């Protein structure tokens, strides 16, 4: 009788312990699977980025959060976290198109993420003359469409008004640019650039406030291998506050920009 009185207690103890261990390992398994799925999505499909600077104003604003498609240009070692697996060139590659807004690794250090617009393709010549863009010796069409009010350093509605233009690239892609200093800004007159094979010429839409391929010492020509992906859609946008301060969302979120495509 003593033995029969003890055995159920032991069996019950073992059963509870097994359930606890089973629950723990199930949780670990679930978390591991979720992390692997997130890693695959981030490496092969979409990666989120946020915009910390104004070089692509008015297309992208400080505080924008967007998804970048990793598959758009195929995969290089820069497509994967920490540059792994290490290999040269691209697989399943499709070259960027003129007018794409793309994320790439800065050629000078191969680690810093930059986002700019593809302006020059391999073999093109690119030059700025008196604020006008020339590609392959031909001036790029543009039309004045009004002013952009820059409230970045001022109270809302009190910032300076900056000339805004719609520029139409060869091939028909159009986008909006601003000229903070008119047509005589620091990079509005440049040498003639010849884009090498396997490289691209990148520029910001905020023409007078963008470190891009016009500055050979900072960016220069961008190798095809360095492209991370193409900007696709804004999934969040907030003005003047970090995204985690959710109590400021009602007034700070730019609701009209959510889920808009980048072009």
85 cis-preceded (ω within 30 degrees of 0) = yes
Residue 119 scores a pLDDT above 80: yes
Distances (CA, A) of 105 to 18, 37, 145, 200, 223: 49, 24, 33, 13, 9
pLDDT of residue 34: 65
Q: Of 150 and 196, which is predicted with more confidence?
A: 196
* Selected catalytic residue, list 70, 105, 116, 213: 116
Q: Of 147 and 39, which is predicted with more confidence?
A: 147
226 CB neighbour count, 10 Å cutoff: 20
Asked whether 70 and 44 are in contact (CB, 8 A), the reply is yes
Boundaries of every domain in the chain: 1-47, 51-257
Q: Of 20 and 67, which is predicted with more confidence?
A: 67
Residue 17 designated active-site: no
Nearest Cα to 163, choosing from 142, 184, 149?
149
Distances (CA, A) of 121 to 135, 142, 201, 263: 10, 20, 7, 18
Nearby residues of 259 by Cβ (< 8 Å), 6 or more positions away: 233, 234, 235
Nearest Cα to 203, choosing from 121, 123, 138?
121
Encode burial over 87-114: b for 16+ CB neighbours within 10 A, e otherwise: eeebeeeeebebbbbbbbbbbeeeeeeb
Q: Of 83 and 58, which is predicted with more confidence?
A: 58
pLDDT of residue 22: 63
Residue 55 designated active-site: yes
- Alpha-carbon dihedral 67, 72, 73, 74, rounded to 10 degrees: 100
Query: How would residue 18 be classed by pLDDT, with cut points 50, 70 and 90?
Result: low
> Is the domain covering 51-257 a CATH 2.10.109.10 domain?
yes
């Amino acid at each position: 009788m003593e033995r029969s009185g003890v055995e159920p207690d032991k069996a019950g103890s073992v059963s509870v312990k097994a359930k606890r261990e089973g629950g723990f390992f199930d949780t670990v398994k679930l978390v591991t699977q979720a992390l692997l799925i997130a890693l695959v999505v981030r490496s092969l499909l979409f990666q989120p980025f946020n915009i910390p600077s104004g070089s692509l104003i008015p297309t992208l604003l400080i505080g924008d959060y967007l998804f970048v498609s990793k598959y758009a240009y195929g995969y290089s070692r820069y497509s994967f976290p920490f540059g792994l697996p290490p290999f040269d060139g691209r697989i399943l590659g499709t070259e960027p198109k003129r007018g794409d807004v793309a994320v790439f690794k800065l050629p000078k250090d191969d680690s810093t993420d930059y986002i700019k617009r593809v302006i020059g393709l391999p073999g093109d010549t690119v030059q700025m003359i008196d604020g006008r863009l020339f590609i392959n010796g031909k001036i790029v069409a543009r039309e004045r469409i009004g002013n952009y009010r820059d409230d970045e350093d001022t109270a809302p509605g009190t910032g300076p008004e900056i000339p805004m233009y719609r520029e139409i690239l060869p091939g028909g892609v159009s986008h909006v640019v601003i000229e903070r200093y008119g047509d005589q800004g620091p990079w509005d007159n440049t040498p003639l650039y010849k884009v090498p094979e396997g490289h691209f010429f990148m520029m910001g839409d905020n023409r007078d406030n963008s470190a891009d391929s016009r500055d050979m010492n900072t960016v220069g020509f961008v190798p095809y291998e360095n492209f991370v992906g193409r900007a696709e859609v804004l999934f969040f946008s907030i003005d003047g506050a970090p995204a985690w301060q959710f109590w400021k969302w009602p007034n700070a979120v730019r609701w009209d920009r959510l889920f808009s495509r980048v072009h």
